[in-house]
Amino acid sequence: MTNLAKGDNSTEDIGFLHVDLMLGLNNMEGGAHVALLWAEHLNTTYNEFNVSRTDIRNIVVPIAINLTFGSDISQSITQTVNFQYNDVKGADDPQRLRQRVVDLSTDIDVAAPLVRTGNLHVLVAQGSTYLYQFSEPLNLTHAPVWFSGANRANDVIFLFGFSERGLQFVNHVTGFTPTVEQRVLSTRLIKMIAKFARTGNPNPLNAAGDPQWPEYDAMSMSYLDISAAHVSPKHHFREPFMTFWTSVVPELLTATSQNATSPLVCPEEIGHTIKVNLVTAENIIIALSIVSFCLLCACVLLVCLSVAREPTLYINSNNAVMKTPNLSETPSLSSPTDS
């Protein structure tokens, strides 16, 4: 399951192919990132968390991309993510910008991997697939004023029920005391999960007039939004952000990888390639030098032979112009005539 969430489409896990699958998350999962990551990087605190559009562009988005995909990511992808999540043209509304940071962390770290896993399960598995989003806010003593929603692992408190011993521990650690409505919600949630575990189908839901929990599929992306105020079936889970992460970003990653001007190789390989090119060039230069030297020697030899074959005029001691015999001429065999 972990590999599937990271983008590995392998279906070698036989258990994955034959189980009914229920996926769920809290609607403000990214709140944990604010406390553990962003407050420190932005030099602020969780309770007084403030962020600007410049911070999102220059700090939040680059760090989020680096932690998820590594450092060798095209700048165009980072700019696209910034455009998707940053309030580029809006006013500097602190609450809106804080929510953008929480949404980015929720989507990139939890929601998108869940959707990818759900899409694959629907495609290849024989079991049923269901998705829920828990959005009940908890009145915690340490929760910041600006935070409204369900933070990471808040649904776990409801899934295990409010026993007296458990409540004592939760209240001691978090200061949380459930309301009557939240106790009812916990009971309903436990029954839904138990029914799904037995039959692979959480329907029918518990209370009279409860809606049908639709099964998840990649087209409608149906899910159940759960809170004390409502238990409502909804569609197109966290769109358009899920399409962005499951379709647009993978296509951008593929395109930038194919359009890279040079392959991604380690420094040793780069050095080796340069070394081979230099040696080849050196050999070519040496060969050309040898050929040039041979041609020069041949030219000098031809000139010498030409000079040796041509007759030369000179004046002897009697001031008579004489011509040296041509070496190519055949000397006469007849005797000279006596004068």
The DSSP annotation for 15-58 comes to HHHHS-EEEEEETTTTHHHIIIIIHHHTT--STT----HHHIII
How many residues can be counted in the chain?
Answer: 339
Q: What percentage of residues in the chain have a pLDDT greater than 70?
A: 73
Contact in structure between 30 and 101 (CB atoms under 8 Å): yes
> Higher confidence at residue 312 or residue 220?
220
pLDDT at 250 (0 to 100): 93
Contact in structure between 51 and 30 (CB atoms under 8 Å): no
Digit-coded pLDDT (tens) for 48-100? 999 999 999 999 999 999 999 988 888 999 999 999 999 877 678 899 999 99
pLDDT at 216 (0 to 100): 98
pLDDT at 271 (0 to 100): 45
Rounded distance, CA 65 to CA 148, Å? 26
Check whether 273 has a pLDDT greater than 80: no
Contact in structure between 320 and 326 (CB atoms under 8 Å): no
> Higher confidence at residue 98 or residue 311?
98
Check whether 240 has a pLDDT greater than 90: yes
Digit-coded pLDDT (tens) for 12-53? 666 788 899 999 999 999 999 999 999 999 999 999 999 999
